[in-house]
Amino acid sequence: MNETRTTCPYCGVGCGVIASVAADGAVAVRGDPEHPANRGRLCSKGTALGDTLDPEPRLLHPEVDGERVGWDAALDTIASGIRAAIAQHGPESVAFYVSGQLLTEDYYVANKLMKGFLGSANIDTNSRLCMASAVAGHKRAFGADAVPGCYEDIERAKLVVLVGSNAAWCHPVLYQRLVQAKQDHPELRVVLIDPRRTATTEIADLHLSIRPGADAILFNGLLVHLAAHDETHALFVNAHTEGLDAALAAARASSPDIERVARDCGLEPEQVEAFFDLFARTERVVTLFSQGVNQTSSGTDKVNAIINCHLLTGRIGRPGMGPFSLTGQPNAMGGREVGGLANQLAAHFELDDPEQRAVVQDFWKAPAIAARAGPKAVEMFRAVEQGRIKVLWIMATNPAVSLPDAGQVQRALEKCELVIVSDCVRHTDTTRYAHVLLPAAAWGEKDGTVTNSERRLSRQRAFLPPAGEARPDWWIVAEVAKRLGYGAAFDHPNAAAIFREHAALSGVANDGARAFDISGLATLSDDGYAELAPIQWPVTAGQPQGTLRLFGDGAFFTPSGRANFVAITPRPPTHVTDTQYPLALNTGRTRDHWHTLTRTGYSARLSAHSIEPYVEMHPDDARVLGVNDGALARISSRWGKSSARVRLSESQRPGSVFAPMHWSDAFTSAGCIDAVVNPVTDPISGEPEFKHTPVRVEPLQPAWYGFLLSRRKLTPFGRHSGATARDGGSTGNAGAISIESRNPENILNDVIPASASQFPLHRGDCPIQFPLPQGECPIQSPPPQGEGEGGGGVKREIDSDTYWSVSRGPNLWRYELAGNDLPQDWATTARALLCAPDEKVEWIEYFDKAARRYRAARLANGKLESCIFVESSPVLPNRDWLAGLFALDSLDTPTRTGLLAGIPPKGSRDTGRQVCACFDVGETAIIEAIHSGCASAADIGARLKAGTNCGSCVPEIKILLAAVTQTKKIA
């Protein structure tokens, strides 16, 4: 078995992974015990990496206008499109939108082509969406985008403050290091500052459920408190900083005392005082901040409000202390190193400094150099819609889903004259708009470096051949550059050569002038690059082993060499809630998914935890709005609408709702929450305000709810029918829930009276006509696995007035459904949905007119192939036992008897919903373990292993423990 050391492609923790490929091609992964970031640990996503190498969704060959072409034709099309746009409209008419998923070498080449050869700074990255505020805050305070500390500091701290971070779900391995540190050092204190009570609250000694957006008020208050209580590190402040007086004056204006801070933050004065006192009396403090700080319209100010407190106390650059930005993406920092943001130049050179621009131009031997910053992500897509950008090349990202005001992004893509998309996935919400599609090498196939949140470079190494005709991103960009006449500058034979050039540039005219310097690696041989061990920058001749911490000597990268205090006047979120949109929407991640599901959505293990889009809200808000747990709701803002399943939770702060960012039109009919999010950005960093959009939540009351389990994927659903926006497919919610597009009054009128005794309703009974003529088979049935697309399928479409979401399960695809339109005849409709014509199948069904209930199952050779359950309410049988039947070769008589009742026969077991993704442990086993004596999460871990790997499910295990214990007490 071949083993390869590589790096996880998900979050900014940057865990080391050992991938093994068996003789039959099966890939297994385990944590790399030698990687300093994780020391062998992996979270649920990292553990399931092998599941996400599914070839089914891959883009395998280049396409132009929907037709398969060879690489030369695709690359020629791009080069001539770029050349024509520049000739007619100038270099500003071409833009690249790239990604923190790219490797540093890919990023370097793309940035070099745009800024040095096309001559504009029209390149920005989706990292703008996660950490641009941290970058801007670092530059204002330190004069450089540099994270001062390292992960080890978390273990050496006495107080860890987490601000706007659900690390338990979003940076799980780092969170586990914190959990371990607290176990090893019980005196370690943890404070969590987050409006929501999240899984991370589990470890917090103090949770401040702060009013959304009030973080700068709190940290200004802390600065005032520290100064008033003589916690200033006078030696450090006097020798190494400037601007304290102005910062203190601003802090005193906004946050004069604890009472005012508590009032404005929506906290109790005792809570604020407890936090301030803890911070004041603890020398070793690490403040970890993440998207809750960054993704706001005053994110940069919040970052500086935090840094101010560390500067005042001199708690920076020493073991166990410092402000620490947790990066979202695996290579967000690598992108920053090469200048992947529109306002940066490569290697920490300054774009607005003519001398520094000249140095880079000279190094690249480039014909031009961008002289001013390009548009940041949100602005870039506005420029596309306005027609100022004619050619847009999108690499390794899905902006049609992930940018705020996603409807605007889709309009922009539709209008753009030439959209090029390099991706490893064929059908995304963005590839629909592509004129040119380029198959990029995926994780496991590509070779390069990434940099994690602690400035640590690690190698991603290839261990699989590229799928189809896929090529590395750097190769693709370089081939276009060659066709544009820049061959000499882009003639890199491999990723190692690009890395050497990147490293050499970092050392040019540096000598300590710029934080980023890896010139110590500039002469690595190909073998040296292949074997490169994880190392933290700077890496120079003087520091060949890398650098654990920065700023310990009090030297900063500002012109004066001193760190800047920044005077902060806190600002509320740009758009405030009002009577029309009374709730504050906060968006973020779920436990087991990554970005827009293009990878994790293909893993049954990772899909089990959250099977569809949801909106979490406080029961008090739900009561007022008439929204029920488990029902469907519409979330709307001034920018757009989305639909999701309601989850009621006391963890939500009243007045706020939370929705995950992951779902796209590829996985659901109307779940893209970024269609709702306001496109407001921080004026300095350009980072969008994903954490605060005023919204309204209303109940949806479809006439029927259902679910469908099928061994075959019933594609296409909705927009991903193979038709693209370019060849006539609608860009709206084709095939999506039409409940979505109708006003609530009509929906209420459409609900069947509870007394209705006839089910299904016949045409004419229902105010909405079922759109399909009887007998027409409405879902496209794909060929069995292994056959090519389009072979032998029957054209099918789910009706256009239907809510659907799809998730992968073991041996099956699972569809959650609801609709306003009632079919003329459920029996005919269900057969049409699930059976191909002339197919020999065994069909069993159950029909209860009075209860308005329909259930059916299709078996082939005794094996369950699919089943559908329909009710008039969202209360439906548990899917988990039914899903488990797809693993059986045949169903015995008791199982068949229980099948349509949805009830397991005596003696068989319903695993219940999955709790632990790492070891696939369901709720039933955990409840049984509790009943049989397990009294703690540790007991359950010892018995079932649940919670013993990444630990992200431990909070859920504890909730089950509490619930069962409570039930026992009542009994």
Q: Which is nearer to ligand SF4, 46 or 706 (CB)?
A: 46
Least distance (Å) between residue 285 CB and ligand SF4: 23
Q: What is the x/- site pattern for ligand SF4, positions 117-156, by CB under 6 A?
A: ----------------------------------------
- Tokens 């911070």 belong to which residue? 279
**Nearest in space to 651 (alpha carbons), one of 675, 673, 681, 620:** 620
Q: Which of residues 167-186 bind ligand SF4 (CB under 6 A)?
A: 171-173
Least distance (Å) between residue 179 CB and ligand SF4: 13
Least distance (Å) between residue 429 CB and ligand SF4: 23
Q: Which is nearer to ligand SF4, 171 or 647 (CB)?
A: 171
Please identify which residue in 46, 538, 819, 955 interacts with ligand SF4, judged by CB under 6 A: 46
Q: How far apart are CA 442 and CA 652, in angstroms?
A: 37
Q: Which is nearer to ligand SF4, 255 or 949 (CB)?
A: 949
Please identify which residue in 29, 43, 345, 548 interacts with ligand SF4, judged by CB under 6 A: 43
CB 914 within 8 A of CB 921: yes
Least distance (Å) between residue 176 CB and ligand SF4: 8
Q: What is the arrangement of strands in the sheet containing 322-325, beginning at the earlier edge strand? A: 206-208, 189-193, 159-163, 285-289, 322-325
Dihedral-angle region of residue 764 (phi above 0 means left; psi in -120 to 50 means alpha; beta otherwise) = left
**How many DSSP H helices and E strands does the chain contain?**
31, 34
Q: Which of residues 813-872 bind ligand SF4 (CB under 6 A)?
A: none
Q: Which is nearer to ligand SF4, 596 or 824 (CB)?
A: 596
Least distance (Å) between residue 156 CB and ligand SF4: 20
Q: How far apart are CA 655 and CA 621, in angstroms?
A: 7
Task: Look up residue 910 and give its two tokens.
Answer: 């319903």
Q: Which is nearer to ligand SF4, 241 or 402 (CB)?
A: 402
Q: How far apart are CA 451 and CA 101, in angstroms?
A: 11
**Nearest in space to 937 (alpha carbons), one of 953, 913, 918, 921:** 953
Please state, in angstroms and as integers, the Cα–Cα distance from residue 130 to each residue in 180, 328, 332, following that order.
Answer: 27, 6, 8
Least distance (Å) between residue 963 CB and ligand SF4: 28
CB 661 within 8 A of CB 675: no
CB 164 within 8 A of CB 194: yes
Least distance (Å) between residue 175 CB and ligand SF4: 8
Q: Which is nearer to ligand SF4, 11 or 250 (CB)?
A: 11
Q: Which is nearer to ligand SF4, 313 or 600 (CB)?
A: 600
Rule CB under 6 A: say whether 38 interacts with ligand SF4: yes
Rule CB under 6 A: say whether 45 interacts with ligand SF4: yes
CB 416 within 8 A of CB 392: yes
Q: Which stretch binds ligand SF4 (CB under 6 A): 36-44, 555-563, 720-728, 770-778?
A: 36-44
Q: What are the start-end ranges of the H helices in 657-772?
A: 744-750
Least distance (Å) between residue 661 CB and ligand SF4: 15
Please state, in angstroms and as integers, the Cα–Cα distance from residue 204 to each residue in 322, 587, 880, following that order.
Answer: 19, 22, 33
CB 196 within 8 A of CB 208: no
Least distance (Å) between residue 536 CB and ligand SF4: 16
**Nearest in space to 300 (alpha carbons), one of 420, 493, 140, 91:** 140
Q: Which is nearer to ligand SF4, 142 or 594 (CB)?
A: 594
Q: What are the start-end ranges of the H helices in 229-268?
A: 234-240, 244-254, 258-265
- Strand, helix or coil for residue 694: strand
Q: Which stretch binds ligand SF4 (CB under 6 A): 42-50, 384-392, 470-478, 696-704?
A: 42-50
Q: Which is nearer to ligand SF4, 283 or 920 (CB)?
A: 920
Q: How far apart are CA 32 and CA 444, in angstroms?
A: 15
Rule CB under 6 A: say whether 42 interacts with ligand SF4: yes
Q: Which is nearer to ligand SF4, 15 or 484 (CB)?
A: 15
Rule CB under 6 A: say whether 456 interacts with ligand SF4: no
Q: What is the x/- site pattern for ligand SF4, positions 4-23, by CB under 6 A?
A: ----x-xx-xxx--------
Rule CB under 6 A: say whether 316 interacts with ligand SF4: no
Report residue 536: phi and psi, to 5°: -100, 135
Task: Look up residue 853 and give its two tokens.
Answer: 């209930």
Q: Which is nearer to ligand SF4, 116 or 172 (CB)?
A: 172
Least distance (Å) between residue 152 CB and ligand SF4: 16
Least distance (Å) between residue 962 CB and ligand SF4: 27
| Sequence letter at residue 162 | L
Q: Which is nearer to ligand SF4, 42 or 518 (CB)?
A: 42
Least distance (Å) between residue 816 CB and ligand SF4: 26
Q: Which stretch binds ligand SF4 (CB under 6 A): 41-49, 378-386, 686-694, 697-705?
A: 41-49
Least distance (Å) between residue 600 CB and ligand SF4: 10
Beta strands 802-809 and 693-700 are: unpaired
Least distance (Å) between residue 664 CB and ligand SF4: 20
Q: Which residue is nearest to ligand SF4 (CB)?
A: 46
Q: Which is nearer to ligand SF4, 173 or 885 (CB)?
A: 173
First to last CA, the chain: 54
Q: Which is nearer to ligand SF4, 451 or 820 (CB)?
A: 451
Burial of 928 (0-12, 13-18, 19+ CB in 10 A): middle
Residues in the interface with ligand SF4 (CB under 6 A) total: 14
Least distance (Å) between residue 606 CB and ligand SF4: 11
Q: Which is nearer to ligand SF4, 6 or 356 (CB)?
A: 6
Annotate 649-679 with DSSP letters as a single string: -TTSPTTEEEEES---TTTBSS--GGGTS--
Interface residues with ligand SF4 (CB under 6 A) are: 8, 10-11, 13-15, 38, 42-43, 45-46, 171-173
